[in-house]
Structure 1
Amino acid sequence: MSSPTLLITDGPGGPTPPWYLPRLCPHYDVHVLWHHGPDPAVNEQRRRTFDAWCTHTVVPEGAELTDFTVEYAKQHAADGIVAFSEIPVVAAHTAAAALSLPGNPPESLPALRNKLQQRARLQAAGVPVPRFAEVRTAEEFRRARREVGLPAVLKPVVGAGSMATHAVDTDDEADGIWARACEAYLNDPRGGTRPAFILEQRLIGSSWYPDPRYGDHISVESLVRRGEITHLAVTDKFPLSPPFRENGGMLPSVLPPDRIQEIEACATAAVRALGLTNSAVHTEFKLTGAGPMVIEVNCRIGGGAAEMLHHSAGYDFVQATAAVATGGPLPVAPEPHRYAGRLIPQPPDHAVVLTRVPSAPEVLAVSGAQEVVLPHRVGARLSPERGSTNYLAAAIAVADHPENLLDCFDRLTAPGLFTFDRSEERAAG
């Protein structure tokens, strides 16, 4: 009996090819669509990885990804289409809908990439969200500040990883914030050709944890199959770095069962409000004194959650996602037996040049983590405008007690492990 044909639209973020290919290729006829990046050496390494495992095709420059995916899927009689990255995930679901393959319905898809539409749908369904207003010009920004109130948060309508996101505290600083946000948006490949932002009420967080090393936000990782929702895990978070950059998280949550039930009930309401039927779902919340407030819903798993579920519960998320996409049997829901964390410490909240980057063995020895990726070299220029994806390191840590993971993060962010220079003249890129 032949294996189902699974088409993967690859992109940055989410489980990487070395993670998902060994888990999927023994069970599926895997085909990967991917894009060349600016670094020829990286492109060659990716090509060798794909050559070793599966059939793959580079999406031609300028090609519309949805159309290309639909035609490729037709030619190869794909049984399912998946994307683990936030960048191509809506195109993957759009292509699946066009071919009547399992995925989210077409009417749900615009709100998955457009924060303004998503806020409106959630609000209409009674799901708690902050006040918000659309912002495309400096004049609209002034009007939105009156409607939404200050403090507030300015963020792109379509964006990822907290790029071009700014806190707005006073009207005096607003003109400078608007100029910087527009510049960052236009210069980032995840942005667009014209500024498109949303101004949101700044939510006041509440401490739901006895240990201050936890943040005041949280996420829920879920799977939806034929409209049935399974919540896989609730992920606790480390406090944000200014302005709104994530430092990672850990699961399973240490919150008491009644709090977990409250958060999961809100996640279920958000999934229903957006009409999601077949996908992974990552729902982010702010923890407030009035309860959890939805920050964002995405039809993919949260960063590092696949690895954390594997280490914490032996759960294979990529196989579960493939099962949803092809209509196959789902793995049994996870039962965690350990705590796992993904630690992504951020650089300072101003432009810096890296002057010291530790070796991977040094990071592992100092922090106690099990795996680490160091994405930058000495001389690299890092800017908070690029958001959470501009992290210093991405480490996976596993422990029998959550306090051990908090300690691991403390050691990873200790002064001197990474060092910086504010001088931009030495920037190497």
Structure 2
Amino acid sequence: MSEHVLVIGSGRDLPTRLRRARAGTRTTVICRLDYLSKLRETTEHTRIIGVSPDAPDDEWVAFAEAVHARHPFTRIVAFGERDQDKCALVGQALGLAAHSPQTTTLVYDKHAMRARLREAGIDTTACAQVSDVEELRAFLAAHDTPCIVKPGSGSFSKGITLARHAEEADAAFARAGGGLEDADGTPVLVEQFHEGPQFSVEAFSEDGDHQIVAITRKYSDPLNFVELGHVSPAPLTPAQEKQIHHYVERILDALGIGAGATHTEVVLTENGPQLIETHVRMGGDEIPALAHDVTGVDIADCLIRHTLGEKVLPGIRAALAAPRTPRSSAIWFAALPAPGVLAETTGLDEARAVPGVTEVQLLVPPNAAVDTLQSSTSRVAQARAIAPSADEALAAAREAINRLTFHLRVHAAGQGAV
């Protein structure tokens, strides 16, 4: 039987990989109108349905049901961060395997996630939803500890502030609730800040059975926590790895995540790992590519084959158990110190000549407007490197970024671009 896969959202090149993975596979896409420009190979889809960003859930379901009645779907998938909840609802309505609506609600609603994990005895992080600055100020004063203030939902590391004093409440609340594209109208969340190095954990699950694929050390800006770089595998002791593995598996169980790729972020405190957040998708920032470099596991390929009904955990475990020469893979990003227009970037050949560097990529085109480091979308270039150790891989990637020169046109007060 040929497959007809309903893709919720854009998915970059993954819908194309779906069609190529099995002969006769067809794809229909339902996505927000503002995502239509992100679709690739549009003429290769059986159909594309654009939905208003503010369309109610039942409209998504109705469109899917109408197509399903004429051309039944065999599978459903959402590859990205947004609209996993729509995928869950449509999957439930059509009787197709997907995450449950309850699970996607818990993943999206960070306060509800904390409450569920507290009930399960996994998380004790002090947190609250606050509707105004006074509530935030009261929480900061009552807990007398550094706190993270962020949108109750959202992505791209937007709107995050570390507040150490009640006097910082106004600026932190404004940043977290300031009409961010994917967080507008959501509550502001304040939660206890956990001190320690941060890690991303990539896992894959089938039928409630979880396998940790890779743990990646991440390096973030100390002010707004936007990621500046990553290295895999994370430099951890075997005992620390085992502790993180067990902790993340408990989280996935508690949230009802039984299938597919997940990306979980944790802090390793002196008292053990503590959750930042988790996602029912692959990691961003090329983290799956770093994991592939050092483990041989292609998470994207596993997700494609899993979507088409194949069992992939045996292959993942075989790859992880296979003997490999130890090595590390790193990525580092460039951000600019001032907003303006990026006129030109030079030094690409010099950056690519750094030993160990495998890729240097510009993330914005010439003459594009750029900003300081406000979110992950503010970064202007990236470099990847492979080396025998984490320190060497990071050093090579950073050296490549340091060899780039960004020529910026800025606006002086009272003048045009200079």
- Judge same fold: TM > 0.5, yes or no: yes
Corresponding residue of 2:147 = 152
Q: Per the alignment, do residues 160 and 424 of structure 1 end up closer, same or farther by CA in structure 2, a change over 3 Å counting?
A: farther
Corresponding residue of 2:4 = 5
Partner secondary structure for residue 405 of structure 2? coil
Note the C-alpha offset of 1:406.
1.0
Partner secondary structure for residue 247 of structure 1? strand
Corresponding residue of 1:320 = 302
What amino acid maps onto 1:114 in structure 2? Answer: D
Note the C-alpha offset of 1:328.
2.0
Corresponding residue of 1:405 = 393
Corresponding residue of 2:192 = 201
d(CA) in 1 for partners of 2:68, 2:239: 44
d(CA) in 2 for partners of 1:427, 1:20: 44
Corresponding residue of 2:363 = 375
Partner secondary structure for residue 264 of structure 2? strand
Q: Per the alignment, do residues 420 and 265 of structure 1 end up closer, same or farther by CA in structure 2, a change over 3 Å counting?
A: farther
Note the C-alpha offset of 1:81.
1.5
What amino acid maps onto 1:201 in structure 2? Answer: Q
d(CA) in 2 for partners of 1:350, 1:120: 40
1:260 corresponds to 2:248: no
- Provide, for residues 391-420 of structure 1, a one-character-per-residue CA deviation record: whole Å limited to 9, x for no partner: 222344333433331112321442763365
1:273 corresponds to 2:272: no
Q: Which has the higher strand share?
A: 2
Note the C-alpha offset of 1:58.
4.1
What amino acid maps onto 1:163 in structure 2? Answer: K
Identify which of structures 1 and 2 has the higher relative contact order when contacts are C-alpha pairs closer than 8 Å and 6+ apart: 1
What amino acid maps onto 1:31 in structure 2? Answer: T
Q: Are 1:363 and 1:372, in contact at CA under 8 Å, matched by a contact in 2?
A: yes
Aligned pairs for 1:324-363 within 5 A: 324-330=306-312, 332-333=315-316, 334-335=319-320, 337=325, 339=327, 341=329, 343-347=331-335, 351=339, 354=342, 356-358=344-346, 361-363=349-351
Of 273, 276, 291, the residue aligned with 1:309 is 291
d(CA) in 2 for partners of 1:329, 1:84: 18
Aligned pairs for 1:201-240 within 5 A: 201-205=192-196, 216-240=197-221
Corresponding residue of 2:182 = 190
1:296 corresponds to 2:277: yes
d(CA) in 2 for partners of 1:419, 1:263: 43
Corresponding residue of 2:86 = 91
Of 373, 387, 403, the residue aligned with 1:384 is 373
Please give the TM-score of this superposition, normalised by the length of structure 1: 0.82
Note the C-alpha offset of 1:255.
1.4
Corresponding residue of 1:59 = 50
Note the C-alpha offset of 1:389.
2.8
Q: Are 1:31 and 1:55, in contact at CA under 8 Å, matched by a contact in 2?
A: yes
Note the C-alpha offset of 1:129.
4.6
Corresponding residue of 2:75 = 80
Q: Are 2:234 and 2:390, in contact at CA under 8 Å, matched by a contact in 1?
A: no
d(CA) in 1 for partners of 2:265, 2:416: 34
User: Could you list the runs of 5+ residues in structure 2 that have no partner in the other structure?
Assistant: none
Partner secondary structure for residue 59 of structure 1? strand
d(CA) in 1 for partners of 2:242, 2:391: 23
Q: Identity, % of aligned pairs?
A: 24
Q: Per the alignment, do residues 180 and 318 of structure 1 end up closer, same or farther by CA in structure 2, a change over 3 Å counting?
A: closer
User: Could you list the runs of 5+ residues in structure 1 that have no partner in the other structure?
Assistant: 206-215
d(CA) in 2 for partners of 1:363, 1:69: 47
What amino acid maps onto 2:357 in structure 1? Answer: A
d(CA) in 2 for partners of 1:221, 1:122: 19
- Provide, for residues 148-201 of structure 1, a one-character-per-residue CA deviation record: whole Å limited to 9, x for no partner: 433111100011021011111222232233234433xx1x32122x35110111
1:16 corresponds to 2:12: yes
Q: Per the alignment, do residues 325 and 60 of structure 1 end up closer, same or farther by CA in structure 2, a change over 3 Å counting?
A: same
What amino acid maps onto 1:343 in structure 2? Answer: I
Corresponding residue of 1:133 = 128
Note the C-alpha offset of 1:259.
1.0
Partner secondary structure for residue 153 of structure 1? strand
Note the C-alpha offset of 1:102.
1.9
Q: Are 2:344 and 2:367, in contact at CA under 8 Å, matched by a contact in 1?
A: yes
d(CA) in 2 for partners of 1:30, 1:80: 10
Note the C-alpha offset of 1:119.
1.0
d(CA) in 1 for partners of 2:93, 2:142: 39
d(CA) in 1 for partners of 2:68, 2:390: 44
RMSD: 3.1
Q: Per the alignment, do residues 190 and 70 of structure 1 end up closer, same or farther by CA in structure 2, a change over 3 Å counting?
A: farther
User: Which shifted more, 149-158 or 303-312?
Assistant: 303-312
d(CA) in 1 for partners of 2:330, 2:401: 13
d(CA) in 1 for partners of 2:122, 2:6: 34
1:110 corresponds to 2:99: no
Q: How many residues align?
A: 402
d(CA) in 1 for partners of 2:142, 2:94: 43
Note the C-alpha offset of 1:263.
0.3
Q: Per the alignment, do residues 396 and 85 of structure 1 end up closer, same or farther by CA in structure 2, a change over 3 Å counting?
A: farther
Q: Are 1:311 and 1:338, in contact at CA under 8 Å, matched by a contact in 2?
A: no
